[in-house]
């Protein structure tokens, strides 16, 4: 997208608005990566982006909306939804892209920042909205698989996404292991089995 | 264990050594919860625990060994291995105990501290040793299930544990949702299916 903008820099309608949005987002993400999400303030964003703070308030309304918009845009750019035609292909591609993002300075700063939200109730709400939107977007991989008949219609899409991304974030944030392609393949095998009808141990537990 | 100690406070052999260990551990955990794992120093531990630093060095050797020993002891106390007789029962009990721990000030501080190790290579090594030991201990739930014939002999015990604990830590650290008993039940259903032979999607993917 930004290449198209660079190729047609002046006349395209919305060109200036879109350059402003990009500069402001970049400033927000830099501050998040350097100092954490709690430290994002509109005066500092205005200074770094070279955009008047009145313009920022007019466009985004609140600091929380601005942070949320910047984080969501960055995630969508860094984690485009794959469309490989199979559930296994989609989950594998998405897992690999997530590992690459977590290895990058942006991703490293972004998810550490999200893990350490200690500020206002508004920031906590923005974080919640971030994940709600991320789940809504990524569950398209699951609904596509249901449409193709690869998964049962009543599949819980959120737990499907969590089973894939949580172990990757867990290794990155907590154990410090770097997940690799072999791990993703192994994980995807388990996730797909988890989502298909099978024996879930209730029989042994006497609660079947 | 500590109740037994309280009941027989003076004469039990090893009583003093065990009280010293407890006081030192408590000082380490308090500093971890208050300031993070990077800030644990032997002089401060010595002051808080009322134990000479020469005694601490004699017993633990290094700061890193001391931190590791304290974190492992706290985890073992807070997350005793369940032995319910079924895989489903064990995983459910363990998941519930983990949620309780993450809700407590100790667990909150402990895992946030582990997520933000930025200090020395030794601390990074101690963190790695922490998780290696935790995995070794917790995989007993999986090996018991294999012995009972509930899981195939080639089950990957580490991924089994990760599929259970990663989504719980993920919600706690990243999304801010509080996992509850219903979520644990739902998660355990998926984990057990993931570990049993089933269709893993390789057929659709043309790689079967």
- Whether A148 and A170 share a structural domain: yes
- Hey, which of A38-47, A72-81, A89-98, B121-130 has the most confident mean pLDDT? A89-98
Among A78, A105, A120, identify where a domain stops: A78
Residue A15 has pLDDT above 90, yes or no: no
Among A41, A60, A78, identify where a domain stops: A78
pLDDT (tens digit per residue) in B173-195: 888 888 999 999 999 999 999 99
pLDDT (tens digit per residue) in B84-99: 999 999 999 999 999 9
Q: Supply the range of the domain harboring residue B13.
A: 1-70
A206 neighbourhood in chain B, CB within 8 Å: 86
Q: List the alpha helices (DSSP H) in chain B.
A: 2-7, 15-35, 42-49, 53-60, 63-78, 87-103, 105-115, 121-138, 140-147, 157-170, 181-195
A195 neighbourhood in chain B, CB within 8 Å: 190, 193
Cα-based torsion angle of the residue sequence B104, A131, B181, A141 in order, rounded to the nearest 10 degrees: -150
> Running DSSP on this structure, what letter comes out for residue A37?
G
> Which of the pair, B185 or B108, is modelled with greater confidence?
B185
- Whether B132 and B191 share a structural domain: yes
Q: What is the CATH number of the domain that holds B43?
A: 1.10.10.60
Lowest mean pLDDT among A175-179, B5-9, B76-80, B189-193: B5-9
- Whether A83 and A172 share a structural domain: yes
Q: Does A86 touch chain B (CB under 8 A)?
A: yes
B159 neighbourhood in chain A, CB within 8 Å: 167, 186-187, 190
With CB atoms and an 8 Å threshold, state whether B116 touches A111: no
pLDDT class for A164, splitting at 50, 70, 90? very high
| CB atoms inside a 10 Å sphere around CB A146 | 17
Span A134-154, mean pLDDT? 95
Residue B11 has pLDDT above 60, yes or no: no
Mutation for B interface: A83, A126, A168, A190, most B CBs within 10 A: A190
The pLDDT value given to residue B116: 66
- Whether B148 and B65 share a structural domain: no
ipTM metric? 0.83
Number of H helices, E strands in chain A: 11, 0
pLDDT class for A84, splitting at 50, 70, 90? very high
pLDDT class for B112, splitting at 50, 70, 90? confident
Chain A stretch 31-60, residues whose beta carbon is closer than 8 A to a beta carbon of chain B: none
Task: Provide the percentage of residues in chain B whose pLDDT is more than 90.
Answer: 51
Span A145-149, mean pLDDT? 96
Q: E strands within A10-153? A: none
Q: Does B147 touch chain A (CB under 8 A)?
A: no
- Whether A45 and A103 share a structural domain: no
Residue A188 has pLDDT above 90, yes or no: yes
Q: Does A170 touch chain B (CB under 8 A)?
A: yes
> Which of the pair, B7 or A71, is modelled with greater confidence?
A71
With CB atoms and an 8 Å threshold, state whether B192 touches A205: no
Among B41, B70, B99, identify where a domain stops: B70
Q: Does A169 touch chain B (CB under 8 A)?
A: yes
The pLDDT value given to residue A75: 87
Span A27-32, mean pLDDT? 90
Does an H or E element contain A34, and which? Answer: helix A15-35
The pLDDT value given to residue A127: 83
The pLDDT value given to residue B200: 78
How many domains are there within chain B? 2
- Whether B27 and B113 share a structural domain: no
- Whether B129 and B112 share a structural domain: yes
Q: Does A159 touch chain B (CB under 8 A)?
A: yes
Q: What is the CATH number of the domain that holds A142?
A: 1.10.357.10
């Amino acid at each position: 997208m930004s290449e198209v903008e660079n190729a047609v820099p002046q006349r395209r309608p919305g060109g200036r608005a879109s350059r402003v949005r990009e500069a402001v987002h970049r400033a927000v993400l830099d501050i998040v990566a350097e100092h954490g999400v709690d430290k994002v303030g509109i005066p500092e964003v205005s200074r770094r982006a070279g955009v008047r703070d009145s313009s920022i308030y007019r466009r985004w309304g609140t600091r929380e909306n601005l942070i949320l918009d910047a984080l969501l845009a960055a995630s969508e750019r860094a984690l485009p939804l794959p469309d490989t035609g199979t559930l296994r292909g989609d989950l594998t591609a998405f897992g690999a892209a997530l590992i690459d993002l977590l290895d990058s300075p942006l991703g490293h700063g972004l998810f550490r920042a999200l893990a350490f939200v200690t500020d206002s109730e508004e920031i906590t709400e923005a974080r919640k909205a971030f994940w709600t939107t991320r789940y809504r977007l990524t569950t398209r991989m699951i609904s596509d698989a249901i449409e193709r008949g690869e998964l049962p219609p009543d599949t819980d899409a959120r737990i499907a996404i969590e089973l894939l991304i949580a172990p990757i974030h867990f290794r990155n944030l907590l154990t410090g292991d770097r997940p690799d392609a072999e791990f993703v393949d192994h994980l995807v095998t388990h996730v797909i089995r988890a989502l298909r009808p099978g024996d879930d141990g209730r029989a042994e537990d006497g609660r079947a």
